[in-house]
Amino acid sequence: MYLYSVTNSMSIIMHKIVLSTILLACISLIPCQAQENNDTRPTSYVVEGRLAGTAADGMKIHLYETEARRNVNTAVVTGDKFRFTGVADSAIECRVIIREYQMEGYMGEFILENGHIRMDLGKSRHAPTGTQLNDVFRKIYALEDSLKKTNAPEKAYKTYSKQVFKGHENDAIGYSLLGSLFFTYAGTNQEKLTLLQSLGPNLKRTGNYQFRLSYCQPSELIGQRFKEVKGTDVHGDSIALSDFIGKGNYVLIDMWASWCKPCKGEVPYLKQLHGQFKDKGLTIVGIFTWDKAENLDKAMKENSMTWPQLIDLDKTAMTQYQAAGIPTMVLLSPDGTILEIDSKFRGENMVQIVRGYIEKESVPTLP
């Protein structure tokens, strides 16, 4: 979720002019592919690139297919360079991964197709060149990166969402866009469902499509009784979610882990709610999951998290609340009814929704 000032709003207006040109340029590439003579198309691929430095010299580097979750090819880094060769039966979204060195400058995303593809991961993880789909891919993600740099509001991404999908409703770029901010901020869940329904049969058969579809549909858990989760706190003492129910407060559950960057991105919003409502009707309960218990104390101190934490090493909460990933937020009523659990229940949107519940009615507070 992005906050923006009047200054940033002016920046967005200027960016729209420039970025519209970028967008039109990438869309204009689409007909060229259809007109290309099949006889002149490459029948094999070469993928070569440069890393940000030589730290991975001698390590294995993998071409990893996102959808199938499998290695397509493997090579060895020489200095700061890598090179793959092979044959692509169809265009698919892939990543370049060094398993021992997964960090910016040493990983990238692109469309694997026959042709000569080049990447400079030291400059960008989304900047492949050399084939038509990758040229479009690069320009679309340049647009996304530009919006990120200006802390653009959600509506800025929504402005472009239909346009970037146009012409890619059934190909590898469309597949990639399902994981982009152009889909995340495409509007309400109903608007996202409409967009999903417009996609072609190839994409509808993918796990990525099914994941996005399930995430946009209303959760069947809304209105149900809360699901119990038991564990230990940071001191090793027993603790349960039910310990916080029926005390007169709304309960906001935050499922997170120390390694999860998006989880850390939610901390400022949680602090805002905790500071404003901890004595006025809200209890935040962190559920530390998908991690090691020994990492909790350090993570709490680094992020100045002062609300209760429940260590859930078995990921019981994720199972109970049907969480596809983390962070996942759940809002419970004072009597333990599940009120909110949604992909949009994050960031500033979460703050406004929680504030609406608490300020709408007089909620008794703890003595």
Q: pLDDT tens digits, the chain, 367 residues: what are they?
A: 333 333 344 444 444 544 554 454 444 444 334 334 456 889 999 999 999 999 999 999 999 999 998 999 999 999 999 999 999 999 999 999 998 888 889 999 999 999 999 999 999 999 999 999 999 999 999 999 999 888 788 789 999 999 999 999 999 999 999 989 899 889 888 899 999 999 999 999 999 898 888 778 777 899 999 999 999 999 999 999 999 999 999 999 999 999 888 899 999 999 999 999 999 999 999 999 999 999 999 999 999 999 999 999 999 999 999 887 789 999 999 999 999 987 678 888 899 999 999 987 543 333 3
Count structural domains, the chain. 2
Chosen domain end from 215, 243, 262: 215
Chosen domain end from 191, 215, 239: 215
Cβ-in-10-Å burial (0-12, 13-18, 19+) of 308 comes to: middle
Q: Are residues 179 and 253 both part of a single domain? A: no
Q: Which domain holds residue 332?
A: 230-360
Q: Are residues 116 and 29 both part of a single domain? A: yes
Q: Are residues 60 and 206 both part of a single domain? A: yes
Q: Which candidate, 215, 228, 286, 227, places its Cα nearest to that of 257?
A: 286
Q: Are residues 203 and 275 both part of a single domain? A: no
Q: Are residues 251 and 210 both part of a single domain? A: no
Distances (CA, A) of 345 to 132, 156, 329: 37, 19, 7
Tell me the pTM: 0.62
Domain-embedded: residue 295: yes
Chosen domain end from 215, 238, 264: 215
Q: Are residues 247 and 132 both part of a single domain? A: no
Spatial neighbors of 315 by CB under 8 A, at least 6 apart, are 289, 290
Q: Are residues 192 and 241 both part of a single domain? A: no
Cβ-in-10-Å burial (0-12, 13-18, 19+) of 333 comes to: middle
Strand partners, 112: 92
Strand partners, 47: 84, 117
Domain-embedded: residue 37: yes
Rg (C-alpha) for the chain, rounded Å, is 23
Q: Are residues 265 and 182 both part of a single domain? A: no
- Which two three-digit tokens encode residue 303? 């992020």
Domain-embedded: residue 220: no
180 and 212 Cβ atoms separated by less than 8 Å: no
Q: Are residues 291 and 186 both part of a single domain? A: no
Q: Are residues 151 and 15 both part of a single domain? A: yes
